[in-house]
Amino acid sequence: MSSLPDPPPAVPSGAAVTENVPAPAGEDDAHTLVVVTRLKIDEQLRELTSILGGHWQVSVAPSIPQGDPRITELIVPPGTRLDGSQLPALPGLRAVATTSIGTDHLDLEALSRAGIPVVTAQGFNSREVADHTLACILAAVRDLANGVSLVRDGGWGSLQTHPRLVSLTTLGLIGFGGIARLVAADALALGMRVMVCNRSALPAATLKAGIAQVGIGTLMRQADIVSVHVPLTDGTRGMIGRRELEAAHEGIVIINTARAGIIDQDALADALNTGRVSQAWLDVLATEPPDPQDPLIDCRNAIITPHMAWLSPQSSVKGYRMVAQRLARLASDTP
């Protein structure tokens, strides 16, 4: 596969996000860590306790705990909101971690004002999400969803499907972090043309590898498939809206394994119903589980998966391992 230079680590705006190298915990003061989840996480808890050591008390709570001054660290997964109004009831809180890359479920500004650093699992699932994205790309190019629906509806006939050559496909990537870079390398290896919309200039070595940097308008007009790989921030919310979709070429495919708010869901549903967008492969929705009134649910050409792109037997534990190592390093660096 084509070799691309390593990017600098992505750092969300707002709170100080800590991504230090792993180190064992060795400080003497006690820590009380609460993992906020309703899931059974026995293996993940064993990973946490083995890394953090006996001076860390680790427990699980179904929601953000309130009023316990002993709590020094929280692990807050995506889907659970932690906002500034909850912080006064956690006076002993020293750090917040999330077993995800995204931090849009955390009030970074409030945490920053309170001097509470944020630790993420940056990079823990990059290969999984890239693999999922590539699977969507290949399925879209070969029109697999249409073929499956045709047979399920009692039809038959290859000429009622519209598969294309992978090597004649133009892939557009919005964002160029670790996941997008893996997808780009895979796409280049398969002979695809790759273009990228990214706010910072791409390295010269990336351009030499055959990747073009373009604006969002050019990308939407020229790419056969557009895949989203940016975090959800004030600057990216609604980045693909009605104007961008109406300007896209007829039959474009949209893939989103990032965050739902980056794409205007109502505009996307309209574009799917008119055929401007031929397919949308979505692993994220504005409301999860989906609202029954979500207009995308009834779009036959929207292929929706249950936020599973990140998942593998390895990643389900690796995220906890990474935040444990980073919390340990953060604690050992604290005076």
Euclidean distance between CA atoms 246 and 42, whole angstroms: 48
Instruction: Classify 74 as helix, strand or coil.
Output: strand
Q: Which of 138, 102, 93, 147 is nearest to 120 (CA)?
A: 102
Structure tokens at 139: 């399925």
Longest CA–CA separation in the chain, Å: 70
Matching residue, tokens 């991504």: 19
- The one-character DSSP state at 12 is -
Q: At a CB cut-off of 8 Å and minimum separation 6, what does 177 contact?
A: 7, 10, 229, 230
Burial state string for 115-129 with b = 16 or more CB within 10 A and e = fewer than 16: ebbbbbbbbbbbebb
Task: Show the 3-state SS of 90-119.
Answer: CCCCCEEECCCCCCCCECHHHHHHCCCCEE
**Interior angle at CA 300, CA 242 and CA 151, nearest 5:** 150
d(CA 258, CA 236): 11
**What's the number of CA atoms in the CB half-sphere (13 Å) around residue 235?**
8
Residue with tokens 């990059």: 126
3-state secondary structure of 253: strand
Residues annotated as part of the active site: 259, 288, 307
- Rounded Cα gap, residues 189 and 199, in angstroms: 25
